[in-house]
Chain A
């Protein structure tokens, strides 16, 4: 560990902190008010796009209508990405003549990109044509982020809207949210970021792969493609699916320490900004900063733990060389500090891009990403998903506080009652149920274990990581696991859809249940949802829910591996 290493983390966090308010205010302006930028130019574009979608008049939707729109759109998203992969050999923009993708892999990928997970059972450069990468994967990088943003807005509206005399019980319009998030936020930011990436060396072309003769006279073929345009939205939308197999470790995706910093910022900028947007929606920005503070505490602890763990020697290399940190699976230009920071950020947010191979991290270094995901992707989290995730935890925290003082809990003046708690608990329980259930099955059947790249406790970690990443909609991997088998493709595909949609529906139902509730004035028994006390309670709830649920599984994987590695044992 070095001072310069720590200062990278602090510099990054300072930039996130500085961006949160302006970005959050901008998101509030374009998504919650009518004062949008360039009304003469973008206004007609926005209305035109909605009219093309068949939405001539934007009507407010109930939670049921909002959910139906979301699910219908996601259905066509899965079908569209599936069809593009199955037909890529017939489509243009396939200079390498790549064949059609097999059915299980195509299902896995379609589910993965629609669910904002971007788990990849394939290597991009040898599997996906440029048409599939652009039309299928880049498209869903935008749409899954925009849809997640919509769900977060709907929940925040449910919490903050005051039912008028006519008793308004609506949450906004899914199509309007989708189009505005894309047009005013995701597209312009991605465009600028993509061009910046190209200026730094990220490639952007439609040419066939390029052969060169190396200095020593060997043949080397360089995989090409429209990388930068996908790279920008891959980070900004917390998607994380790499154009190439090596993801952001690949020099054509992430060539310099500066592009690395910008990629990190793109991951956090929208989830962090959304906490401020939420604060604006409640009419009290302290409400948003309380969430931001809870996320920041968990982020900084994880970043420190990750950096400390990766600064230790890799036990497998220890007999061969003296080490100053674990460099297996890390790029020289990033080193230990920027790699461990990236691993923390990408698993705090449900991004899942990697600039180093988590499978080769030390046991405790690999534990940090796992725990980050087990906490429910609420440490800034995915675009939208982070905000609605932490609001569900906040509902839980408020309920626990209410139990402690013996009063019906209320959140922003809305009473949290039995129905709300049932929905919140449904959200909390689906997550470990799918992860632990599928991991347990996969650990004992040959279809599960035959895909492992590592033996011993690390093998269990590979399985646990895969389903955690899938259900948490993260998409990073202990990538030694060969997931391109029918069993893994289907089980992971199902787990990603469950982690996305089985959790979104209770969120929207809760929003619908809250939106019509009368607001009661704050009294002496009201637990304040801003300030240090609430932040502390929120952090505790997140830690207890995550830690208690997953500690037994983690102790059989990375924790026992740590002690075995220290004793010099290999498998």
Chain B
């Protein structure tokens, strides 16, 4: 019995050093050598060389001249040190109230949007850090973004379409648009971000011109 315990203790130390120290450090060394950008968070910079985030991690966008992501339950929203979904179930009143409020806000801020609010834009992602929206959810926002920037919606739609990532091998996953990358491309093509709106979002002007 004592000898079994002794072997168990020695085996614990040996395997801990092998799999808990040598293995992760070897992977770290190889990863830093071979894929240093990816291993260090796939950080992206804007045209001024300023680090603006990670290509893989969603961030909050609230201004009308930027495309907006899905709701986030990570911390106070897109907190990349507190990843989380809402974990609200299918008969949750809290979830229903949140979705109703979110859909109302989206309708108010996007008076010129084509068709009903895309469901995805009121559904919180699993990680709270989802960097993507579907192409439909991005295109739905085009009238608002184009108007806020004073550019032709057709040009904005074309930019969105050029940013769509398809399914891997035509089968895996879903088509999607990276919101941060898209917004960076917007700034690049249509000039730096417009100045923040003077009026709060809820007070946006009606779209149809008065007669």
Contacts and interface: CB of A to CB of B under 8 A. Distances in A.
Q: Report whether chain A binds chain B.
A: yes
A329 interface: yes
Interface stretch (B99-107, B141-149, B152-160, B201-209): B99-107
B96 A175 contact: no
A38 interface: no
Nearest to B62: A216
**Of B21, B24, B132, which is in contact with the most chain A CB atoms at under 10 Å from its CB?**
B24
B86 A226 contact: no
A52 interface: yes
Contact of A332 (B50, B130, B167): B130
A360 B10 CA distance: 45
Interface string A243-283: 01110011110011110110000000000000000000000
A60 interface: no
Contact of B81 (A11, A195, A223, A359): A223
B60 interface: yes
Contact of A329 (B80, B124, B171): B124
Nearest to B174: A335
B54 A222 contact: yes
A246 B85 contact: yes
A257 B99 CA distance: 27
B127 A246 contact: yes
B125 interface: yes
A330 interface: yes
A548 interface: no
A444 interface: no
A360 B51 contact: no
A246 B11 contact: no
A122 interface: no
Nearest to B100: A320
A229 B120 contact: no
A363 B171 contact: no
B210 interface: no
A244 B83 contact: yes
A248 B174 CA distance: 16
Interface string A314-341: 1111011111101111111111011100
Given A191-B23, A316-B91, A251 B52 contact: no
Contacts of B5: 72
Nearest to B184: A215
Contacts of B35: 195, 198-199
Contacts of B187: 215
A478 interface: yes
B188 to A, nearest CB: 12
B26 A332 contact: no
A212 interface: yes
A99 B128 CA distance: 25
A329 B125 CA distance: 5
Given A72-B8, A138-B24, A201 B56 contact: yes
Contact of B87 (A186, A222, A480): A480
A317 B99 contact: yes
A549 interface: no
A316 B28 contact: no
Contacts, number: 394
B20 interface: yes
**Of A257, A337, A453, which is in contact with the most chain B CB atoms at under 10 Å from its CB?**
A257
Contacts of A371: none
Interface stretch (A21-29, A74-82, A149-157, A495-503): A74-82
B173 A68 contact: no
A525 interface: no
B194 interface: no
A317 B23 contact: no
Contacts of B116: 321-322
Contact of A134 (B1, B24, B61, B92): B24
A48 B102 CA distance: 62
- The size bracket of the interface on B is 35 or more
B16 interface: yes
B180 A202 contact: no
Nearest to B83: A246
Interface residues of A, number: 128
**Of A143, A223, A327, A480, which is in contact with the most chain B CB atoms at under 10 Å from its CB?**
A327
Contact of B12 (A77, A250, A328, A334): A77
A521 interface: no
A41 B63 CA distance: 60
A352 interface: no
Interface in A213-258: 213-216, 218, 220-224, 226, 228-230, 233, 244-246, 249-252, 255-258
A324 B119 contact: yes
B27 interface: yes
Interface string B134-145: 100000000000
B60 A216 contact: yes
A244 B126 CA distance: 12
A185 interface: no
Contacts of B90: 314-316, 326, 360-363, 366, 458, 561, 565
B174 A570 contact: no
A182 B19 CA distance: 9
Interface string B52-71: 11111111111100100010
Interface in A447-492: 453-458, 461, 478-480
A332 B20 contact: no
A532 B124 CA distance: 45
A203 B126 contact: no
A469 B151 CA distance: 53
Interface in B176-199: 176, 180, 183-184, 187, 193
Given A53-B10, A561-B90, A139 B20 contact: yes
The 3 closest A-B pairs by CB, nearest first: A257-B173, A480-B87, A249-B126
Given A187-B23, A198-B27, 20 more contacts: A54-B3, A54-B7, A76-B11, A175-B7, A186-B19, A194-B31, A205-B32, A205-B41, A223-B80, A229-B23, A229-B24, A314-B90, A316-B96, A331-B130, A333-B176, A338-B172, A357-B126, A359-B88, A454-B87, A455-B93
17 contacts: A125-B82, A135-B16, A142-B15, A182-B18, A199-B34, A199-B35, A204-B31, A204-B39, A215-B52, A215-B53, A222-B81, A226-B24, A244-B127, A256-B168, A461-B89, A570-B92, A570-B96
